Structure 1
């Protein structure tokens, strides 16, 4: 396949939609035929081709197999998923995707560790309405796509510090929470991940009002990203980044060591099941 998208001239979603339409027309298929042969709803496929909907990556894998297009659609989907995020996060996401080292503190379960069902509950929230279902679907798909960062061949070395608060507010259903705890436990054992729990016994601390992410690139450059109260700030000044790194280091020293953190998570899981 020689199809490529000029990302400087069109959005990722538009480029993916254009390519989907081109592949279908090249195959001589109508939308109705495609729907019948792939078992996907016709109106759903139409919205994908119009660039109005972001699918799950598995849909693109299915269509790549159907069209015999290698991994073209999957690669374009990875570009398109960025459109599901607001513009102010795009630069952070670009840097996150190329980071060599990542340090994260969150008061809740980090997006990079959330299961699909847990993420859906978080992203739906109290504002969920019948009219925003598609928007939530797109945000969930984009969040799941971000998690590929942890499992690629050149995966970042990542340290998570998670406030105990995250483990004391379970998901709406028992199975969703069970699956989420198992997910965190599993990731904590990955060789490129260090995970620590910040216990309530620590008391009041300086990052209680939001999350903090530090990213280091291969060339040694670093940025900090703070998020809270509905907004985010990307910080690239060397002195400010250093200040936030020292802030993170102080929190790391207060957190449980990784083995104790893993035991804590397993204890929460056992208590939940009992």
Structure 2
């Protein structure tokens, strides 16, 4: 068993301690990243990102590394790093960087319209519902969220498929005029050549992603990563086994969802129903 390098410096973040220990153990063993990747069945560049603190990997990989080095503490350090409250912000920043370069995107939305499909009015109401904020901060957040949608208009036009649970269409905005605008936007963007919107009807029943908002990103280097989110936290999933498990659930859901054409017709039906609702007066 290689000697364990003491992890010192309480001021270090759990993520930094984990990265430092990974690097120290590999150098003590005098093994290259490529050789280590072959030993634990992981891409060597991903291991390099872990040693530089850019990603944490998954618990299975931490266990495989413990097995390779003959240690038991890497999975403990991983658990400390993943539970660090600051990691949500860091993971989200990394996700945004990956989203900007993605060649293709697929998303399942269980309860709200995805950010890439939201109108400014919808984004504003959603952000206001999350908690109080001053008007300038709210306006800035709305601008930032809507600004993300520019990636769908890039010159290379990445493909985007969004599967919306029927519950999304049954949760209108308070202002009916704003809600009609959002539905019209969904119907319009569904006609773009690089965008497909599908609706998973309630009759499809329970499935593997029932309560999990999930986005898949196809990256230029050939990898696929996923981002799973609740209203209060999110996780970037990069381990191949975990991503594949999520993708199988997504593929099953896509098979039982309405086609883009049928989904467009259903959205039109909801628009027509909204026309019967009185517009809220100011």
Structure 1 stretches lacking a partner, 5+ long? 1-84
Counterpart for residue 147 of structure 1:
149
CA RMSD of aligned residues (A): 1.5
Work out the CA distance in 2 between the residues paired with 1:205 and 1:235: 20
CA 1:252–1:225: 2 relative to 1, 3 Å: same
Work out the CA distance in 2 between the residues paired with 1:89 and 1:102: 16
Counterpart for residue 117 of structure 1:
121
**TM-score with structure 1 setting the length:** 0.66
Work out the CA distance in 2 between the residues paired with 1:229 and 1:195: 22
Counterpart for residue 49 of structure 1:
none
Work out the CA distance in 2 between the residues paired with 1:126 and 1:95: 25
**TM-score with structure 2 setting the length:** 0.64
Work out the CA distance in 1 between the residues paired with 2:146 and 2:178: 16
Work out the CA distance in 2 between the residues paired with 1:197 and 1:267: 13
Counterpart for residue 167 of structure 1:
169
Q: Does 2:100 correspond to 1:97?
A: yes
Q: Deviations over 1:94-122 (max 9, x none)?
A: 11111111110012111111110110000
Q: Deviations over 1:143-172 (max 9, x none)?
A: 011010111212210110001111111111
Structure 2 stretches lacking a partner, 5+ long? 1-87, 277-282
The 4+ residue runs of structure 1 with deviation greater than 4 A are: none
Contact 1:210/1:229 (8 A) holds in 2: no
Counterpart for residue 17 of structure 1:
none
Report the Cα offset of residue 200 of structure 1. 0.8
3-state SS of paired residue (1:213): strand
Q: Does 2:227 correspond to 1:194?
A: no
Work out the CA distance in 2 between the residues paired with 1:199 and 1:155: 28
Work out the CA distance in 1 between the residues paired with 2:99 and 2:171: 27
3-state SS of paired residue (1:162): strand
* Greater gyration radius: 2
Report the Cα offset of residue 208 of structure 1. 2.2
Matches within 5 A, 1:208-227: 208-227=210-229
The total of aligned residue pairs comes to 188
Work out the CA distance in 2 between the residues paired with 1:144 and 1:87: 21
Contact 2:218/2:225 (8 A) holds in 1: yes
